[in-house]
Structure 1
């Protein structure tokens, strides 16, 4: 069931020719994140088993910990106590932070591209900004007593 779901997700993500690179990268990173969280949950339970003061002793707890860690929430209710458990945690953290950064960048790129295709306000804002800079320059020259040609 689960492998078929991942296969379908990958086919949907990469199957369209027209899909933009940033969207495919963000989608691919999200799939990698899900796999890392699922495998990381299993791995942390395996390496923490039998460790003194271990609190990641079941897969449901480890899955919750993995979600907390990947999203950088980190309540502190569950945490690895072994060196290998902390290595798994570092991997989950790095993949989580990278994925959320890529998804945020993809969304920002999509919004900007959409606005540009609509002929949105970006060109207008650039012109307004240039006009404001000219006004500030004139005011600055007036305050310092310099003339336009100086």
Structure 2
């Protein structure tokens, strides 16, 4: 299969672990339902509208264009249903279009928020690691300072005891 064919791209996307998540599946399912409703709505509306007086949707290609502009809520006004069944079909196409765009928007937002949350968790873990290392370094430094002060106190105590007449001196006196 060619690397640029739609089926190849679809398989690569759906085979990827990131694309297996629920929100992506929902967006993909909504997209497929969207295409199905566009095609079915276009196919079903033509028999109702083509026979009606003042009809603007008289063929499948026109109906397909009408369903796309209706589902995307563009509605140029060049094509519109004039029969009651055509208007019911229009309502279904509009609701599906709005719903699909909502699901895709929510999926995109979920992906963006999930990516940001993942980066934040990684940063927090790195910060925690740095903090633990910093505390361990500070504890080592503090122990080293305590040892130095203990040695200094010991040396001061020894020299204080030797040179002030309170204890034996170096010359034995």
TM-score (norm 1): 0.69
1:102-117 alignment runs, 5 A limit: 102-117=103-118
Answer 1 or 2: which has greater helix percent.
2
In structure 2, what is the Cα distance between the partners aligned to 1:118 and 1:40? 43
In structure 2, what is the Cα distance between the partners aligned to 1:103 and 1:49? 33
Which of 1 and 2 has greater Rg? 2
In structure 1, what is the Cα distance between the partners aligned to 2:30 and 2:71? 12
TM-score (norm 2): 0.60
Q: What is the number of residues matched between the two proteins?
A: 115
1:17 to partner: Cα distance: 8.6
Instruction: Please name the residue that 1:58 is paired with.
Output: 59
- Residue 91, structure 1, aligned to residue 92, structure 2: yes
In structure 2, what is the Cα distance between the partners aligned to 1:12 and 1:65? 31
1:26 to partner: Cα distance: 0.9
- Structure 1, gaps ≥5 residues long: 1-7, 124-150
Provide, for residues 87-113 of structure 1, a one-character-per-residue CA deviation record: whole Å limited to 9, x for no partner: 110110000000000000000000010
Task: Confirm or deny: 8 A CA contact 2:34 2:100 kept in the other structure.
Answer: yes
In structure 1, what is the Cα distance between the partners aligned to 2:116 and 2:34? 29
Task: Confirm or deny: 8 A CA contact 2:42 2:67 kept in the other structure.
Answer: yes
CA RMSD of aligned residues (A): 2.6
Runs of 4+ in 1 over 6 A off after TM superposition: none
Q: Which has the higher contact order (CA 8 A, sep 6+)?
A: 1
